[in-house]
Structure 1
Amino acid sequence: MSFKIAIIGAGSVGFTKKLFTDILCVPEFKDIEFALTDVSEHNLGMIKAILDRIVEANGLPTRVTATTDRRKAIEGARYIISCVRVGGLEAYADDIRIPLKYGIDQCVGDTICAGGILYGQRNIPVILDFCRDIREVAETNAKFLNYANPMAMNTWAAIEYGKVDTVGLCHGVQHGAEQIAEVLGAKSPRELDYVCSGINHQTWFIELRLNGREIGKDELVAAFEAHPVYSRQEKLRIDVLKRFGVYSTESNGHLSEYLPWYRKRPDEITRWIDMSDWIHGETGGYLRYSTETRNWFETEYPQFLEAASKPIDASKRSNEHASHILEALETNRVYRGHFNVKNDGVITNLPRDAIIESPGFVDRFGINMAAGITLPEACAATCMASINVQRMSVHAAISGDIDLLKLAVLHDPLVGAVSTPEEVWQMVDEMVVAQAQWLPQYAHAVPPAKERLSKSAVKTREWAGAARRNVRSIEELRAEKAALKQAG
């Protein structure tokens, strides 16, 4: 087979390498072309050198090109994969820093909450540019695979306004299933069968079977509470399991941001989170992790390049959906996964226009969703709160309506639990002004926002958050890795 895959935001080096090697684990895909594109020529150069080394070491005919001209990369592509972060770590830092001034403590801030909503405002205009290029120069009926957050908002915009064939992809379901299999004592995650459905980052394991035996709430709660690690790291997630009756796919830290109950009081936050790793609830944890990862890659690049000389091991193919979807579409080997698509009645008690994450099967005929799923009422209610925020956020990003943007932020569950309307109005003004270079649709709103900020009497606080850690130096990271290696 010979076709072209364009990867937008390919400077996300580790993830691009994973996608690349996963796809090349499919025997029929050796002769395809990868077109890498990114706004950073520096990052492109680094990832192209790594992928070229992989191709050379494995004696493959695979072609790899790299260009900052996105349209050129997309031209003739059958599949377009996006893993962009518009504004990079600079804008992301504001997504965490500014809401903290108004008492909003986020662990990740890339899905909803104040940070995720502004992230969507930056991404959606760019997503629509991608879609225009796909419609105009990609292969006819090309498929757009979106890995970028905020997943639901980006996918919603691409389907509803971009008018391209789009699926959103995430690995939260797989990771949650691995946890459940482990606490239940399974020898392999493959022993666990499940139906998981909801919306991205609020997906729920509504049916569980281990080797054919149905697993109920009480057994699952007992298994998690008995686990020596998860009982400590996933306290909030276990509490939600007890109250809702089903387990959420999302990590302790991520889940805490989407609910109005666990992060609204600084003195309560530390009760529910765990500081052993960023993902369990640390303030700005993913920002710290992303910063350290980028610094580490820049410093240790020669090691990454050397590692690329190893043969591809198909047994280590990851459970990221992309390679499996492409394999199913091209070879008709059926793949079952969980995909982000427009609802259109798949989940009976969520709106038809919402972007859901739910089970589907892929073959030559495309992605075929399993329809007729009804969520438990508490799960549906929690999803609905986010869907309403997502819908307003997408419409605001398309229209450049700053008042609608403020209403979207106001209706966010955690923001609403922490901040007053006056604080939300000022916070959004401050974020739009700070991120103006990435928000062209709000150019007309920036001068009035600056004027309002100059006259505002709303008080803010300089606060690092309830559980903030400093970014570690390269030396500290080296020492930690050495200690882990010695202990292991």
Structure 2
Amino acid sequence: MSFKIAIIGAGSVGFTKKLFTDILCVPEFKDIEFALTDVSEHNLAMIKAILDRIVEANNLPTRVTATTDRRKALEGARYIISCVRVGGLEAYADDIRIPLRYGIDQCVGDTICAGGILYGQRNIPVILDFCKDIREVADTNAKFLNYANPMAMNTWAAIEYGKVDTVGLCHGVQHGAEQIAEVLGAKSLRELDYVCSGINHQTWFIDLRLNGRKIDRDELIAAFEAHPVYSQQEKLRIDVLKRFGVYSTESNGHLSEYLPWYRKRPDEITRWIDMSDWIHGETGGYLRYSTETRNWFETEYPQFLEAASKPMDASKRSNEHASHILEALETNRVYRGHFNVRNDGVITNLPRDAIIESPGFVDRFGINMAAGITLPEACAATCMASINVQRMSVHAAISGDIDLLKLAVLHDPLVGAVSTPEEVWQMVDEMVVAQAQWLPQYAHAVPAAKERLSKSTVKTREWAGAARRSVRSIEELRAEKAALKQAV
């Protein structure tokens, strides 16, 4: 087979390498072309050198090109994969820093909450530019695979306004299933069957079978509470399991910021999180992790390049959906996964226009969703709160309506649990002004926002958050890795 895959945001070096090697694990895909594109020539050069080294080491006919000209990369592409973070770590830092001034403590801030909503405002105009290029220069039947957060908002915009065949992909379901299999004592993940459904980052394991035996709520609670690690790292997640009766896909830290109950006061935050790793609830944890990862990669790049010289091992193909979807579409080897698509009745008690994450099967005929799923009422209610925020956020990003943007932030569950309307109005003004270079749709609103800020009487404070850690230096990271290696 010979076709072209374009990767937008290919400068996400580690993830691009994973997608590349996964796809090349499919025997029929050796003779394809990867067109890499990114706004950073520096990052493009690094990832192209790594991928070229992989091709050379494995004696493959695969072609790899790299360009900052996005349209050129998209020309004739059958599949387009997006891994972009518009504004990079600079804008992301404001997504965490500014809400903290108003008492809003986020762990990740990339899905909803104040940070996730502003992230969507930056991404959506760019996503629509991608869609325009796809319609104009890509293959007639091109499929857009979006990995970028905020997943639901980006996918919603691409489908409703970009008019491109789009699917959103995430790995939260797989990670949650791995945890469940472990606590239940499964010898292999293949022993666990499950139906997981909801919306991205708020997906729920509504049916679990271990070797065909149905697992009920009480057995799952007992298994998690008995686990020596997860019982400490996933305290909030286990509490939700007890109250809702089903387990959420999302990590302790992520889940904590989608709900109005666990991060509303500093003492509550420290009660429910675990500081053994950022993903369990640390304030701004993913920002710290991303910053350290970038610094580490820049410093240790020669080692990454050297590692790329080793032969690929197909047995280490990851469970990221992309390669499996492409394999099913191109070879008709059926793949079952969980995909982000427009609902259109797949989940009976969520709106038709919402972007849901639910089981589907892929073959030559496309992605075929399993329809007629009904969520437990509490799960549906929690999803609905986020869907309403997502819908307003998408429409605000399209229209450049700053008042609608403020209403979207106001209705966010965690923001609403912490902040007053006056605080939300000022916070959004502050975030739009700070991020104006990435928010062209709000250019008309920036002067008035600056004027309001100059006269504001709403009090703020400089606050690091309830559980903030400093970014570690390269020397500290080296020492930690050396200690872990010695311990093993």
Pair in the same fold by TM > 0.5: yes
Q: Deviations over 1:390-416 (max 9, x none)?
A: 000000000000000000000000000
Residue in 1 that maps onto 2:244: 244
Q: Deviations over 1:229-268 (max 9, x none)?
A: 0000000000000000000000000000000000000111
Residue in 2 that maps onto 1:418: 418
Count of residues paired in the alignment: 488
Question: 1:180: Cα distance to partner?
Answer: 0.1
Q: Deviations over 1:396-438 (max 9, x none)?
A: 0000000000000000000000000000000000000000000
State the SS of the aligned residue for 2:311: coil
Residue in 2 that maps onto 1:25: 25
Q: Deviations over 1:426-482 (max 9, x none)?
A: 000000000000000000000000000000000001100000000000000000001
State the SS of the aligned residue for 1:66: strand
Residue in 2 that maps onto 1:406: 406
Question: 1:224: Cα distance to partner?
Answer: 0.1
d(CA) in 2 for partners of 1:307, 1:186: 32
Q: What is the percentage of aligned positions where both structures have the same residue?
A: 96
Question: 1:190: Cα distance to partner?
Answer: 1.1
Question: 1:374: Cα distance to partner?
Answer: 0.0
Q: Deviations over 1:346-396 (max 9, x none)?
A: 000000000000000000000000000000000000000000000000000
Question: 1:138: Cα distance to partner?
Answer: 0.1
d(CA) in 1 for partners of 2:294, 2:150: 20
State the SS of the aligned residue for 1:35: strand
State the SS of the aligned residue for 2:348: coil
Q: Deviations over 1:251-299 (max 9, x none)?
A: 0000000000000001110000000000000000000000000000000
State the SS of the aligned residue for 1:262: coil
Q: Deviations over 1:177-201 (max 9, x none)?
A: 0000000000111110000000000
Are residues 1:40 and 2:36 paired? no
Question: 1:151: Cα distance to partner?
Answer: 0.0
Q: Deviations over 1:140-168 (max 9, x none)?
A: 01000000000000000000000000000
d(CA) in 1 for partners of 2:78, 2:107: 36
State the SS of the aligned residue for 1:71: helix
Residue in 1 that maps onto 2:72: 72
Q: Deviations over 1:294-314 (max 9, x none)?
A: 000000000000000011100
d(CA) in 2 for partners of 1:484, 1:415: 38
d(CA) in 2 for partners of 1:157, 1:125: 9
Residue in 2 that maps onto 1:473: 473
State the SS of the aligned residue for 2:81: strand
d(CA) in 2 for partners of 1:371, 1:405: 32
Runs of 5+ unmatched residues, structure 2: none
Question: 1:483: Cα distance to partner?
Answer: 0.7
d(CA) in 2 for partners of 1:19, 1:264: 38
Question: 1:98: Cα distance to partner?
Answer: 0.0
d(CA) in 1 for partners of 2:273, 2:188: 28
State the SS of the aligned residue for 1:185: coil
d(CA) in 1 for partners of 2:413, 2:421: 13
State the SS of the aligned residue for 1:300: helix
State the SS of the aligned residue for 1:258: coil
State the SS of the aligned residue for 1:271: helix
State the SS of the aligned residue for 2:276: coil
d(CA) in 2 for partners of 1:76, 1:89: 31
Question: 1:50: Cα distance to partner?
Answer: 0.1
Q: Deviations over 1:43-69 (max 9, x none)?
A: 000000000000000000000000000
d(CA) in 2 for partners of 1:88, 1:6: 20
Are residues 1:377 and 2:377 paired? yes
d(CA) in 2 for partners of 1:487, 1:402: 53
d(CA) in 1 for partners of 2:330, 2:390: 33
State the SS of the aligned residue for 2:141: coil
Structure 2 length-normalised TM: 1.00
State the SS of the aligned residue for 2:257: helix
State the SS of the aligned residue for 2:480: helix
Question: 1:129: Cα distance to partner?
Answer: 0.2
State the SS of the aligned residue for 1:128: helix
Runs of 5+ unmatched residues, structure 1: none
d(CA) in 2 for partners of 1:87, 1:379: 33
d(CA) in 1 for partners of 2:462, 2:55: 50
1:54-203 residue pairs with structure 2 within 5 A?
A: 54-203=54-203
The ranges of structure 1 where at least 4 consecutive aligned residues each deviate by more than 4 angstroms after the TM superposition are none
d(CA) in 1 for partners of 2:140, 2:3: 12
d(CA) in 1 for partners of 2:393, 2:375: 24
d(CA) in 2 for partners of 1:318, 1:404: 40
Are residues 1:325 and 2:321 paired? no
d(CA) in 2 for partners of 1:4, 1:308: 22
Residue in 2 that maps onto 1:362: 362
State the SS of the aligned residue for 1:336: strand
d(CA) in 2 for partners of 1:238, 1:266: 20
d(CA) in 2 for partners of 1:389, 1:74: 32
d(CA) in 1 for partners of 2:190, 2:103: 43
d(CA) in 1 for partners of 2:261, 2:25: 44
d(CA) in 2 for partners of 1:190, 1:315: 15
State the SS of the aligned residue for 2:362: strand
d(CA) in 2 for partners of 1:406, 1:455: 18
d(CA) in 2 for partners of 1:34, 1:2: 11
Question: 1:2: Cα distance to partner?
Answer: 0.1
State the SS of the aligned residue for 1:312: coil
d(CA) in 2 for partners of 1:75, 1:402: 35
d(CA) in 2 for partners of 1:475, 1:26: 39
State the SS of the aligned residue for 1:196: strand
Q: Deviations over 1:99-156 (max 9, x none)?
A: 0000000000000000000000000000000000000000001000000000000000
